[in-house]
Structure formats: structure tokens, C-alpha cells
Chain A
Amino acid sequence: KAGVTQTPRYLIKTRGQQVTLSCSPISGHRSVSWYQQTPGQGLQFLFEYFSETQRNKGNFPGRFSGRQFSNSRSEMNVSTLELGDSALYLCASSSGTAQETQYFGPGTRLLVL
């Protein structure tokens, strides 16, 4: 089985721009979660989508949004980028059942200048 894939792997943007990141889950997985990882804050949960619906949400401003398509692929969008948005963005997929293993992609490294 192919693993979780994320595109692009690296991205450079300037303040005020917007960005869209993509995540393709493992085949058959219906849940996709997104995380922001920074040296200062560690791994922080953004949101989780299951069957095209946002099921869980972390404590991030509304500039961060996401969606999930009928094939379970997910996108995450950040509008009006700030310098502090520079981070590694990780997505993880799972079957969507509680207490199941999360399978992570390699991440998208975003640098905001």
C-alpha cells in the first residue's frame, strides 16, 4: 500500500499571501488530520476531517481552513500568511475509528518571508 503523500514538500511564500497544501491518505482511510510542527510549540493539532466533514478542530485562527474530498484527499489553506506560520505541516490518515494508529506523511515545509 502506498503511504500518505503530501504536496508540495517545500514552499516559500511572503507575508499576506495564501497557500494551499494537499494530502493524499492511505487507500481506504477516511480520516485525515492536520498538524503544525514548530521548534517552539511542538506538534499542534489543527483539524480532522472524516467523510468530508470536519469532526475535530484545534485552537487555530480562522485563517487556517481545510476540506476533504469524496476520495478522502484533503487540502489545507492558510490565508493572509504571517511570519509565524513558518512550520512543518504534517497530515496523518487513519481508518477513522477511535484509538487507531495514525499514519503520517513526510510533511510540507512552509517558509514565510
Chain B
Amino acid sequence: GNSVTQMEGPVTLSEEAFLTINCTYTATGYPSLFWYVQYPGEGLQLLLKATKADDKGSNKGFEATYRKETTSFHLEKGSVQVSDSAVYFCAPDGGSYIPTFGRGTSLIVHP
């Protein structure tokens, strides 16, 4: 089956700091990889995705590269803002019609 490991949170940063949230996965077949974000009081929404090895997904300044050799999909942003405070979920989808969600990593950005 599929599984995913995300770094424990909360991650607390000052505005404009560099962000990395680690994600490693195990999956059958050739999964697509997703990062979802959940802002306070809302449901999850897609942040970015990558569908094949070495693809880089990007959105709103966030990036993640599909690393098949290390089965990783780490999320990065060069300069975080207070508005980025949210919970981030890594979710590989190995083709079972539903992704496997990590436990989520809470990000808190202080002004």
C-alpha cells in the first residue's frame, strides 16, 4: 500500500524566512505527487502537483520536485509571508483513485 511521512510541526518562521517541509513516500506503481494546503477554517485545496520524475510543481512561490530515486517531494518557498500560515499536506496518489494524505505540517509565520 501507499504511505507518506511528513516532518512534524509546527514549523515556526519569521516573515521572509526560507521554508522546507520534508515529505517522503512509498507507493505502488508510478504515483502522481500532490501538496495540498488548508487555511484556517477551510477545507484543503491543491497547492501544486507533479506527475513524473524530475517534474517541478510550482504555485504561489512554492516549489516541489519529484525525486523518484529518493521517493521524496519536499516543499520549499524562498520567502514566506504571514498569509502562508496554514497546514500543508503531502499526498502521493498511486492510482487507487484516492491519494494517501500525510498527517499535515502546521506552518506559523510571524511578522
**A interface with B by C-beta (< 8 Å):** 4, 31, 33, 35, 42-43, 45, 48, 50, 55-56, 90, 92, 96-99, 101-107
C-alpha spacing A48/B44, complex, angstroms: 17
For residue B98, which residues in chain A have a CB less than 8 angstroms away from its CB? 33, 45, 48, 56, 102
Which residue of A has the minimal Cβ distance to B100?
A45
Residue of chain A at shortest CB distance from B104: A42
Flag whether B66 is at the interface (Cβ < 8 A).
no
Q: Can you sample 23 A-B contacts with CB below 8 Å?
A: A4-B43, A31-B97, A35-B101, A43-B44, A43-B104, A56-B97, A98-B93, A98-B95, A98-B97, A99-B32, A99-B51, A99-B95, A101-B34, A101-B49, A102-B44, A103-B45, A103-B46, A104-B36, A104-B43, A104-B45, A105-B43, A107-B42, A107-B43
Chain A residues, Cβ within 8 Å of B102: 42
Q: B16 → chain A, closest Cβ, in Å?
A: 29
Which range contains the number of B residues in contact with the other chain? Answer: 20 to 34
| Closest partner residue, chain B, to A47 (CB atom) | B98
Q: Distance in Å from the Cβ of B71 to the closest Cβ of chain A?
A: 16
Residues in chain A near residue B34, CB distance under 8 A: 101
Query: Contact at A101–B103, with CB atoms within 8 Å?
Result: no
B96: CB under 8 A from chain A? yes
Is B42's CB under 8 angstroms from A99's CB? no
Say how far B33's CB is from chain A's closest CB, in angstroms: 9
Q: A90-B44, A104-B36 are in contact. List 9 more A-B contacts (CB 8 A).
A: A45-B101, A56-B98, A92-B44, A98-B93, A98-B96, A99-B51, A99-B95, A106-B42, A107-B43
B104 to chain A: which residues have CB within 8 Å? 42-43
Q: Counting CB contacts under 8 A, is B89 at the interface?
A: yes
6 A-B pairs closest in CB distance? A104-B43, A99-B32, A42-B103, A98-B95, A104-B44, A43-B101
Determine if B93 and A99 form an interchain contact, defined as CB atoms under 8 angstroms apart.
Answer: yes
A56 pairs with B44, CB closer than 8 A: no
Contact across chains for A106 and B97 when beta carbons are under 8 A apart:
no
Return the chain A residue nearest B34 by Cβ. A101
In the complex, A33→B93 CA distance in Å?
14
